[in-house]
């Protein structure tokens, strides 16, 4: 799905309050590159995100981050989708796999690696630590019932 000359996935649909894009399947993630590193795709630009960065990532069996790192202001949430691996934060090392979620505050020195015989797919979500102004229930505003009987964008454009 990734043409060699594209850094971000295409915008498929866009409206007043949304943007829709697709990077393809999990298997397609390996084709995306960031700074010459395969298997990493940032979504901020494609989706017009304003207060977070999201990356879709894959590490092949035996592959790992070649360096430890921390952040100045952003906390990160890693959501593991498939494969198996190990995650290191400071002196702690633990196993991760499908369904594992790891939050690391900015000062946490971190690294991870793929330890299984299948690729390790995961999302990484970054946002400023302490950036949420309210709890999700207080922030949500009801807007009526969904209208699933409407045609999809694809049906309208056909």
Instruction: Band the pLDDT of 6: cuts 50, 70, 90.
Output: low
Average pLDDT for 109-132: 94
User: Do β-strands 85-89 and 40-42 pair in parallel, antiparallel, or remain unpaired?
Assistant: unpaired
Task: For residue 75, list its beta bridge partners.
Answer: 127
Residue 16 burial by Cβ neighbours in a 10 Å radius (0-12, 13-18, 19+) = exposed
Q: Which of 41-45, 64-68, 73-77, 138-142 is least confident? A: 138-142
| Extents of the domains making up the chain | 11-130
- Name the average pLDDT for the chain: 88
Which carries the bigger pLDDT value, residue 26 or residue 133? 26
Token code pair at residue 96: 């991760």
What pLDDT is stored for residue 109 in this prediction?
97
What pLDDT is stored for residue 116 in this prediction?
95
Note the CATH number of domain 11-130.
Answer: 2.60.120.10
Which carries the bigger pLDDT value, residue 9 or residue 113? 113
Greatest CA span in the chain, whole angstroms? 56
């Amino acid at each position: 799905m990734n043409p060699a000359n594209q850094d971000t996935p295409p915008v498929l649909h866009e409206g007043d309050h949304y943007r829709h894009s697709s990077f393809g399947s999990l298997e397609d993630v390996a084709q995306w590159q960031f700074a010459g590193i395969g298997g990493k795709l940032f979504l901020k630009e494609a989706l017009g995100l304003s207060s977070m960065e999201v990356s879709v990532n894959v590490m092949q069996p035996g592959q790992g981050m070649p360096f430890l790192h921390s952040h100045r202001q952003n906390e990160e949430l890693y959501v593991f989708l498939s494969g198996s691996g190990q995650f290191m934060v400071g002196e702690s090392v633990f196993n991760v796999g499908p369904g594992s979620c790891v939050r690391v505050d900015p000062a946490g020195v971190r690294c991870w690696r793929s330890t299984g015989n299948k690729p390790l797919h995961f999302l990484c979500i970054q946002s400023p630590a302490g950036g949420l102004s309210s709890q999700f229930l207080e922030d949500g505003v009801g807007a009526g019932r969904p209208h699933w009987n409407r045609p999809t964008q694809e049906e309208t454009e056909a």
